[in-house]
Amino acid sequence: MNTTNLKPKVRFEMQTLLLAGILVFLLLFFGLNDQGFLAGRSISSMAIQLPEIGILSLAMMITVMIGGINLSINATANLAAVLSGLFILRFMPESQGPMVIVAMVGISLLIGVITGAINGFLVGYVGVPSILATLATMSIFTGIGVGLTKGQTVTGFPEVVGSVASLSPLGIPMPFLVFVGITVIAYILLGRTTFGFKTRMLGTNPVASKFSGINNKAVIMQIFIFSGVLSSIAGVLIMSRTMSASNAYGTATYVMLTILIGVLAGVVSGKGSVLNIFITVFILQVISTGSHMLLAGVRGSSFFKDFAWGVLLIIIFIINYFTHGRRKE
C-alpha cells in the first residue's frame, strides 16, 4: 500500500492558526491589563505548572486518536508517584545522590509500562470498550494507592527529589524542558513514523486497517503503554514539584481538563495534532494565571477561569462549524 498521501504534511491547519491567534490575543490582553503578567516570575511560574497537564493531555490524545479514551491517566500518575516515593522512603531515606532520581524515574516508568499494558490488554485483546476498561483500572490504581498509603499523603523525601522541578538550565525550568522534549518526541512518532501512520489508520477505519495488514491489537497495546509512560512522567513532575505523593492529586479536574484540551485542539478519532495540544495547554494556563492576577482579591474570581474556558470552547465550536460548513459546501 502506498502510504505517501496519508502522511501528514508540514503545514498549519486552520485549527492551529485559530489557536495561535487566541493565544496571542490573550497574551496581549492580560499583558496590557496587568504589568506583572509578562514578568519573569509569572512566566517562570506558568512554565513550571503547565507541563504536568500538558503531558497528561498528550497521554489522553493518543488514545482518542485510535477511537478510545484513557480515564486512568491521572490515577497512573499518582500511583507512579506513590510507589516510587514509598521505595525512596524505604531504601533511600537519607540519600542525596543522583541514584534517588534514577530510582524515582525508573520505578515510575516501570509503573507506566505495567499500567499501560493492562489497559492495552483489556482494550486490544479482551475487547473491553476503552471507557469501561480505563474506568475500572482508574479505580484499581487509585485503590492500590489508598491501600498502600491508607489515604495519607506521602512526604519526607530527600531534598534531591525536588531538584527535577527546581532546576532551571539557562533560566528555563526543567519541567518545561521535559514537556518540550516529550512534545518533540510525540510529534516525530505520530507524524514521521509508521507507528503514527498505523495510529491514524486504526482511528480512521479499524476494518480497513486490519485488512491492510496492520495488527490492530498490537497497535492498541503500544498506544496504551505509551499513554501510561507519559502519565508516569507527569507523576514524576508532580511529585518533584510538590515534594509529596498522593492518590488524590488532581482527581477532581485533571482528566476532564485533558478532555477539554483535546476538544479545543481538534483531536478526534484518526486525527490529532501535537502542536495544537501544545498551544492549547498554553492558552488554558494563560487564562488561569491571567485571570488570577487580574481579579486578585475579587470574591469568586477563582471560578472565572472555568467560565472563560467554557466560553472559549463555545467560540471554537462556532468558528469550526462555519469554517467546516463552508468547506463542505
Place of cell 533560566: 171
> Residues 121-141: what's their mean pLDDT?
96
> Residues 85-101: what's their mean pLDDT?
89
* Contacts with 174 (C-beta within 8 Å, 6 or more apart), sequence order: 164, 165, 166, 167, 168
> Residues 27-31: what's their mean pLDDT?
88
294 pLDDT higher than 70: yes
Residues 145, 151: Cα–Cα separation, whole Å: 8
20 pLDDT higher than 80: yes
User: pLDDT class for 1, splitting at 50, 70, 90?
Assistant: very low
Could you tell me which residues are beta bridge partners of residue 271?
268
Q: So where are the chain's domains?
A: 16-22+42-328
Residues 19, 38: Cα–Cα separation, whole Å: 20
328 pLDDT higher than 70: no
The pLDDT, as a whole number, for residue 301 is 57
CB 8 within 8 A of CB 199: no
Residues 184, 288: Cα–Cα separation, whole Å: 25
The pLDDT, as a whole number, for residue 323 is 65
300 pLDDT higher than 70: no
325 pLDDT higher than 70: no
117 pLDDT higher than 90: yes
66 pLDDT higher than 50: yes
Indicate the range of 154-168, 186-200, 220-234, 286-300 predicted with least confidence. 286-300
133 pLDDT higher than 90: yes
**Cell numbers standing for residue 191:** 507524524
**CA 128, 189, 175 angle in degrees (round to 5)?**
95
Could you tell me which residues are beta bridge partners of residue 17?
none
CATH architecture of the domain with range 16-22+42-328: Orthogonal Bundle (1.10)
Each residue of 178-220: pLDDT tens digit? 999 999 999 999 999 999 999 999 999 999 999 999 999 999 9
> Residues 306-328: what's their mean pLDDT?
69
Residue type for position 30: F
DSSP count for the chain of H helices, then E strands? 13, 0
10 pLDDT higher than 50: no
The pLDDT, as a whole number, for residue 64 is 96
| Average pLDDT over all residues of the chain | 88
4 pLDDT higher than 70: no
**Cell numbers standing for residue 113:** 509500562
**Cell numbers standing for residue 315:** 467560540
Q: Which of 154, 135, 148 is nearest to 246 (CA)?
A: 154
302 pLDDT higher than 80: no
User: pLDDT class for 326, splitting at 50, 70, 90?
Assistant: low
Q: 35 or 225, which is more confident?
A: 225
Residues 54, 82: Cα–Cα separation, whole Å: 21
The pLDDT, as a whole number, for residue 305 is 67
In the chain, % of residues over pLDDT 70 = 89
297 pLDDT higher than 70: no
Specify the pTM: 0.90
Distance, C-alpha 94 to centroid of its chain: 32
Could you tell me which residues are beta bridge partners of residue 272?
none
